[in-house]
Amino acid sequence: MSAGEEQQIIKQYQPLIRALIPYEQQNRLLEGINKFSKRLPGNIRKIIKEEVVRLTSLTDASADNSAFAKFPVMKFKHFGIPMRLDKVGAKILQNETALYQERYTVGVFESVMNSDFYQTQIKRDQFKKIVEAFNVESQSFTDIDFGDDIAVRPNFTVSSVDFEKGRHCTVSSLSFTGIAVETKRPPNVTTGDIVTFVIPEVMGLTTEPTEITYELDAIKYNKHLGKYESFFTISSETDLSLLNNLKRYIKGTSYKQPLQRDLEIERAMQDLERDRILENSPWLPVFLSAHQKSLKPIIALFTKANVDNNNSEKLLASLQDKAHFENLVQELKKYNEAFIFHGVIKTKSGAITITATHRQLVELGQLNAIIYLLVKSGEFTCTQCRLEDVSREDKVKAFAIHDIPSKEFEHLAALSHVMYCRDISMYLTNLTLSEKCDFKPLSKTLRASGDNWSIDFVMEDDLDRRSETRYIIDKAAMIKVGLLSSIDARVADLSANGMKLMVAPGTELQSEVRVSVPDLKIKNEKYKVVHYDATSGVVRLCLEDVKKSKAGASVDAMVEENTAYFKIRDIARIQRSTHRFIWELAVRHMPSLAVLCVMNRHILDRLKTVYQSDSSDDLYPFSRTANIIPLHGFFADKAVAKPKSMMLEAMFKGDVENNLVVHCVRKSDNRLVYIKESDFLYSKLRTQIQNQLEEEKVQVSATNVTAIRCYGATTPLTKKRLAQLSKLDKAMYDKLETMQAGYTHCIFVTNMSALHHDLVMAKLIAKQERPLSEDEATA
C-alpha cells in the first residue's frame, strides 16, 4: 500500500483514531480496536493502530503557529518546551493535552501546528457564538403549574385573641400549609408562638366560623405593600378534613381571586403575553364539538390579525362541506395537521367546486393535476389546519375566570376541539408543472356535496360594527308580499331599528318589505332588506324611515318594562361572554411556535420570549435544550463570522412579512444543508432534491416564518388580566401596563414540510415572476 493510500485511510478514519487515543493512554488499545472496528480489514486496522501509537508518543518539539495566527502571539513554556502561540493556539494546546492525558505528544504538536485544524477551531467558536446569540428562553402555552406552592390572597379577614388584640387582619397569602397576615406595625409576638385564628364563614371553605391553629415562622416588612407580614405554618394536628377543604378551596378559587403577589405577577405576565400572541396571530381558531362519531364546526374566533391575514369568508367556506369536513377530521385526528384545497375547476361541462386534502390528492395521484387546474382557474384557497383537544379542565377554568354560568352556555361546555386554520395559498398561486402529467377524470370524492355546516363567528368589540343592542327573541311574524298575500316568518332577534327573520329557504323577497309582529305590536312596518341568504332563509332588516316609524319607540318601551327578561337575551352580553370563553381556550392551544419581540437598539436583543406547545415540531430540524430555544437555523445569516440577521432587519422594517426557510437533512449522517428559498422554489436544484427524496437519501424541512407587527399596546383582555394585580400592588400594575407598549412584533415559526415535500415529489415548480436582484441572488 502506497503512502498516499495510507494517508487517505488515516483521513477517512480520523474520528475513530481520536476515539482510540484514550484507550492507548490506558494500555487498552487492542480492546478499543476490537470494540470499534472489528469489521474492518486487517491491513486498515494495522494502519489505524500504528497512527494511534505514533500520535500518542511523546515529543519535545517546540510549537510555533505565528505563520497563520490571527491574534497577538504569546511566548511561554509548556512542560519546559518553548511555545509561540496566539490565544486560539493556546486553547488548542490546552484541549489537546487534556485529550492526551496532560501529556505533550506528537498528536498535540501536529494539532497546534495544523492550519486547517486552527481554522476549524475558529469556525466552531464563531458558530457557537452565533448559536448563543440566537438562543431565546421559552415559555409554554400551558398554564404555569404552581403545585403545592400555590397561594391565594382571599377576600376575607381573620382574627385571634392572641394576635393584635383580636383585631381583624387582612390575609395577604393563604396556602395549603400556611397563612400570612398584614399589620401596619410589627405585632407583639415572637417566632414559635402558637396562634389560633378564626376563619369566618366562607363559601366552599367553612359553613360557620372555624378555628385553625398556626405557628409563627417570621415577621418581615413588605416594601411593596408598605406593611408588615407575619408568616405562620399550620399545625400538624389540624383535622385532615379541614386540610382537604382548605386545599379544595384554594384550587377552586385560584382563578376567581388574586394569587399571592409574586405568583399573581407571574400569572399576569403569562396571560398578557399569550393574549398578545393570539391577538396578532394569523391562525383563525374554529371550535368543534362532537357529532355522531366525528366532529362538527360550531364557532370561529375573529381577531384583527387573522381577519387581515386570511379571507375569512373563503376560509370558512372551505370547511363547511359536511362530507369533506368528516374526511378532514379523520386526517387531523391521525396527523394533527392537514392542508385543504377548496376552489373551482373549469371543465368542458362547466365549473366544478372541489374540496380535498393534499393527502387525498396524493393518494389519488392527482396532486399535480388538481393544483395546476386550480391555479389556472385562479379561484382557490389552500388552508393549513391543525387540531388540538380542549380538556374539561380548560373549560372549567374559562367559565371560572370570566364568571360565566355554565348552565346558561351549555353549547360552549360541549366544545371538545379547536382547529386552527390559516390561508397559505401564497405558496401555490404561481406553481406550474415541470413536466407533463396525466389528467384523470375528476373523482366524485373531490366534488363538493352542497350540504354545508353553518359556522357562527364571534369577534372583539373593535371589529364589531353593530350600533344597536340586539335581543334574542322567538315570535311569529308575517311579511306582506301582495295586496292579499303574505309569507310566514319567525323573529330570531330584535333591536330598536332592525330585526333578523327566518323564512323558508328559497323564498323570493323584494328589497323593501312590510313586516307585522302581533306579539310586539309591530304592524305593517316598512323595512329595508340589508342581507338575505336564500339557502338558509336568514333575512336581516332595518327600518326604512327611523324618524316616522313607531316600532323603535315600541321596542325601547318594551325593553324598559321587562329589563330582567331582556338582560339575559342581550346578544351583546351573550357574545361578550362567548368571546371571552373561547378566547380563554384558544390562548392555551396556539398551534405554532411564537416569538415575542420588544423594542431594543440591537436587533437580536429584540427577541424576548418564545412560546411553544409541548407537542409542537416547528423547531425541526433543530431541538430545544431545557428551556432554551435555538433560533439561529431560521434567523441567522449563513456563512458569516458574526451573529447577524438580514431577515429580522427586513421584517422589523416592514419590508418582508414571510420567509420560507428550507433545509435538507442528509440521512446518512444527519447533516443539515441549508437551501435558499429562491433555489428551492424556482431553480433546477428542486429537481435534484426530488431525485434525492425518491432515493430516500434526504429529508426536506420547510419552515414558514411570518412576522406581524403588533396591532396596539392592548388586547381585548388586557384590563381583565391586570384587574387582580391592581388590588395587590398598584406600582407593579402600572409597570406592567406601561410595558405593554414595548412589544412590537410577533413572529410565528411553522413547519410546512409535509406539504412542500409532496409538492416537490409531484414535480411542481414555481414560475419566476421577476428576475432576482443582485442582493437577493447573493443573500
**pLDDT tens profile 72-92:** 999 998 888 999 999 999 999
How does DSSP classify residue 405? -
CB-CB neighbours of 312 under 10 Å: 18
Residue 79 confidence (pLDDT)? 86
Per-residue pLDDT tens for 293-322?
899 999 999 999 999 999 888 899 899 999
For the chain, percent helix, then strand, then coil, each to nearest 5? 40, 30, 30
The overall pTM is greater than 0.85: no
Please answer whether residues 375 and 324 qualify as being in contact, where contact means their C-beta atoms are separated by less than 8 angstroms: no
Asked if residue 466 has pLDDT above 60, the reply is: no
Confidence of residue 552 (pLDDT cuts 50, 70, 90): low
Asked if residue 779 has pLDDT above 80, the reply is: no
Distance, C-alpha 259 to centroid of its chain: 26
Comparing 469-478, 647-656, 711-720, the range with the smallest average pLDDT is 469-478
Please answer whether residues 598 and 285 qualify as being in contact, where contact means their C-beta atoms are separated by less than 8 angstroms: no
Distance, C-alpha 573 to centroid of its chain: 29
Residue 555 confidence (pLDDT)? 73
* Selection from 216, 197, 219, 200 nearest residue 208 by Cα: 200
DSSP 272-295: HHHHHHHHT-S-EEEEEEEETTEE
**Mean local confidence (pLDDT), 97-102:** 87
Fold for 471-569, please state it: Thrombin, subunit H (2.40.10)
Return the ∠ at Cα 266 (arms to 263 and 271), rounded to 5°.
120
The backbone torsions φ and ψ at residue 575, rounded to the nearest 5 degrees and listed phi first, read -70, -30
- Taking phi over 0 as left and psi of -120 to 50 as alpha, with beta for the rest, 414 belongs to alpha
Asked if residue 127 has pLDDT above 80, the reply is: yes
H helix runs in 712-752, sequence order:
718-728, 730-739
Cell of 533: 341568504
CA distances from 779 to 99, 638, 677, 775 (A): 40, 9, 10, 6
Please answer whether residues 341 and 375 qualify as being in contact, where contact means their C-beta atoms are separated by less than 8 angstroms: no
Residues near 453 by beta carbon (within 8 Å), at least 6 away in sequence? 296, 297, 319, 320, 321, 322, 325
CA–CA dist 544, 541 (Å, integer): 9
Residue 565 confidence (pLDDT)? 65
Please answer whether residues 526 and 500 qualify as being in contact, where contact means their C-beta atoms are separated by less than 8 angstroms: no
DSSP 446-468: GB--S-B---EEEE-TTT----S
CB-CB neighbours of 140 under 10 Å: 16
Longest dimension (CA), the chain: 118
Confidence of residue 591 (pLDDT cuts 50, 70, 90): very high
Higher pLDDT, 330 or 378: 330
Cell of 379: 379561484
Per-residue pLDDT tens for 28-76?
888 888 887 777 888 888 888 888 898 889 998 999 998 898 889 999 9
H helix runs in 254-380, sequence order:
261-279, 304-308, 312-317, 322-335, 358-364, 367-377
Residues near 446 by beta carbon (within 8 Å), at least 6 away in sequence? 354, 355, 356, 360, 361, 364, 370
Please answer whether residues 370 and 440 qualify as being in contact, where contact means their C-beta atoms are separated by less than 8 angstroms: no
- Taking phi over 0 as left and psi of -120 to 50 as alpha, with beta for the rest, 348 belongs to alpha
Do 153-253 and 471-569 agree at the fold level? yes
* Selection from 549, 487, 548, 486 nearest residue 520 by Cα: 549
**Mean local confidence (pLDDT), 376-395:** 92
CA–CA dist 155, 72 (Å, integer): 68
Cell of 713: 399596546
Asked if residue 100 has pLDDT above 60, the reply is: yes
Residue 480 confidence (pLDDT)? 87
Place of cell 315570535: 475
The CATH number, out of the four listed (2.40.30.10, 1.10.630.10, 1.10.287.610, 2.40.10.220), of the domain defined by the range 153-253 = 2.40.10.220
Cell of 644: 447577524
CA–CA dist 87, 435 (Å, integer): 57
User: 277-286 burial, b for 16+ CB within 10 Å, e for fewer?
Assistant: bbbbbbbbbb
Cell of 123: 469556525
Residue 675 confidence (pLDDT)? 94
Please answer whether residues 260 and 152 qualify as being in contact, where contact means their C-beta atoms are separated by less than 8 angstroms: yes
CA–CA dist 360, 332 (Å, integer): 13
Strand partners, 279: none
Comparing 381-390, 481-490, 762-771, the range with the smallest average pLDDT is 762-771
Burial of residue 398, with CB atoms counted within 10 A of its CB: 0-12 exposed, 13-18 middle, 19 or more buried: buried
Would you list the domain boundaries of the chain?
3-135, 153-253, 282-459, 471-569, 593-778
CA distances from 97 to 86, 125, 615, 650 (A): 16, 19, 43, 46
Place of cell 414558514: 704
**Number of residues assigned to the chain:** 779
C-alpha torsion angle, residues 375, 377, 379, 384 (rounded to 10): -20
Cell of 382: 389552500
Most confident of 10-14, 23-27, 403-407, 468-472: 403-407
Asked if residue 545 has pLDDT above 60, the reply is: yes
**Mean local confidence (pLDDT), 188-209:** 91
CA–CA dist 574, 777 (Å, integer): 54
**Mean local confidence (pLDDT), 535-544:** 84
H helix runs in 56-196, sequence order:
87-99, 106-113, 115-133
Confidence of residue 566 (pLDDT cuts 50, 70, 90): low
Per-residue pLDDT tens for 319-368?
999 999 999 999 999 999 999 999 988 887 788 889 999 999 999 988 99
Cell of 263: 405568583
Instruction: Please compute, for residue 667, the number of CA atoms within 13 A of its CA located in the half-sphere on the CB side.
Output: 9
Per-residue pLDDT tens for 203-233?
889 889 999 999 999 999 988 888 999 999 9
CB-CB neighbours of 228 under 10 Å: 16
C-alpha torsion angle, residues 446, 447, 453, 456 (rounded to 10): 80
CA distances from 705 to 291, 358, 477, 722, 772 (A): 35, 21, 53, 31, 20
Residue 627 confidence (pLDDT)? 87
Please answer whether residues 583 and 278 qualify as being in contact, where contact means their C-beta atoms are separated by less than 8 angstroms: yes
Place of cell 463570522: 641
CA–CA dist 687, 665 (Å, integer): 16
Please answer whether residues 594 and 634 qualify as being in contact, where contact means their C-beta atoms are separated by less than 8 angstroms: no
Handedness of CA 138, 144, 148, 152 (dihedral sign): positive
On average, the pLDDT of the chain sits at 89
Residues near 60 by beta carbon (within 8 Å), at least 6 away in sequence? 81, 104
Asked if residue 498 has pLDDT above 50, the reply is: yes
Residue 472 confidence (pLDDT)? 83
Bridging pattern class, strands 135-139 and 607-611: parallel
CA–CA dist 458, 302 (Å, integer): 6
Residue 656 confidence (pLDDT)? 92
Bridging pattern class, strands 337-347 and 380-389: antiparallel
Rg (CA), the chain: 35
Place of cell 416588612: 221
Asked if residue 546 has pLDDT above 70, the reply is: no
Bridging pattern class, strands 380-389 and 63-64: unpaired
Confidence of residue 1 (pLDDT cuts 50, 70, 90): low
Q: What percent of the chain has pLDDT over 70?
A: 95
H helix runs in 478-531, sequence order:
none
Q: What percent of the chain has pLDDT over 90?
A: 53
Residue 351 confidence (pLDDT)? 85
